[in-house]
Structure 1
Amino acid sequence: MNDEQLLRYSRQIMLPQVDVAGQEKLLASRVLIIGLGGLGSPIALYLAAAGVGQLVLVDHDHVDLSNLQRQILHRYEDIGRPKIASAAETLMQLNPQLQITTLDHKLSEQELLETARNVDVVVDATDNFEIRFALNRVCVETGTPLVSGAAIRMEGQVSVFLNKPGSPCYRCLYRDEGELDASCSENGVLAPVVGIIGSVQATEVLKILLNIGSTLDGKLLLLDALHMEWRTLTLKQDSECPVCGATA
């Protein structure tokens, strides 16, 4: 670690749970972020600022005026640009020492599988449940930790799936794909709610990379932002889960 990095990350290095060794671990880490919208924006910004050395960014959408209410990676002048280009530019301005890989197309399951094998953590920041289920399948197969978040209206949730034997996966939480047809474009969302949820996701990613504290593995953290109330539910592996259960 050079002198500039020691100064840049000094407030983080001061933490006994991080120290120089932990910061070097972050600098050597590689994280996949799927989705660069409301959730992906704070996730990517905080991971870049914290010194996660390599980010793999995936999004095939373009910046729209309606995005700017909450998607803080993008600016007015980015309207019409691919989100992947806008995001990479913003992140490099924040931390020029990053290594960023951009993928501007919808990944096939085989591409997801290959990419998940080559990262330390996968972050689901999408609002597409087909992609969420595909991400879950490849993370279970590869044993890659998955940090999942969702936000809509004035509500949000975060969970971590470490994909160890006996631990639950995302499909243990949601078995029926039909119940998940909901998005911000149809229901709305209060701007800071995605920031809160995305920040929690980023925190969980850093804890996994540093192997510190207790993660939300096996738990579902729920936010009611209207009344600013948090609840934590316990998740257990479903023995009949089609992905990780005994019959899978």
Structure 2
Amino acid sequence: MDSVTVITSGKGGVGKSTVTASLGAALAARGRRVLLIDCDAGLGSLDHMLGVLDHRVFDIADVVSGAVEPSKAVYPSAIDPNLFLLSAPGTEEDVVSPEVMRQLVGVLSRYYDHVLIDSPAGIGQGFLSAAAAAKRALVVATPDPVCLRAAARTRQSLEEAGVRQHRLVVNRFSGARFRAQKCYPDLDSVIDAAGVRLIAVIPEDPALAAATFQSGPAPETSPGMLAVGRLAARLEGEQVPLPAVNRF
């Protein structure tokens, strides 16, 4: 269960699902078997991002109801043969309870090196379900005051849910925009505002965003995918230095 990570954000629209899909692809490229679980009931997007949508029949609600066994609802992605998806339920009424999520992930995690759980934005019931089985969390935020306040509240909710290992992913970072906005003097101030230790800065990268919309892998040499690759390495315990902010 130490390999189970929930990826969350206090505010929507920060690129959380793109980070989830890209991180899953980066870990799979390292030879790991990776399962993504989409918990964003009614709004799940990972099935499109991973090229599963056209042949998906079952989702997590079908597994929980007993309609199918888990293996029939887990689909291989079109991105990498080591990357798999368990899709989100179609309606919010089918949100899985925290206790059932713990049991389900406890079984599934035996067959994968990493399980990444894509939480819905905010701190509602879907968040509690997504966080229930996780031992660690990545909190995704953009470097603006609204997102960082939400990230700080998310950290508190994670701790209340028993997830005490959490790291900050600053996403869609543009050095020029960051300096022009003048909201924070430096990246240390961003970290202080979130109250979460930093693990990655992912630059604004149209190629990374386009890849997820097109259900394909991002170029390995694109700035965003290089940053996600470093995130994957850090998640596996490797000591990888963070680039200076002026390089973004």
- TM-score, L = length of structure 1: 0.41
TM-score by length of 2: 0.41
Which structure carries more relative contact order (alpha carbon 8 Å, separation 6+)?
2
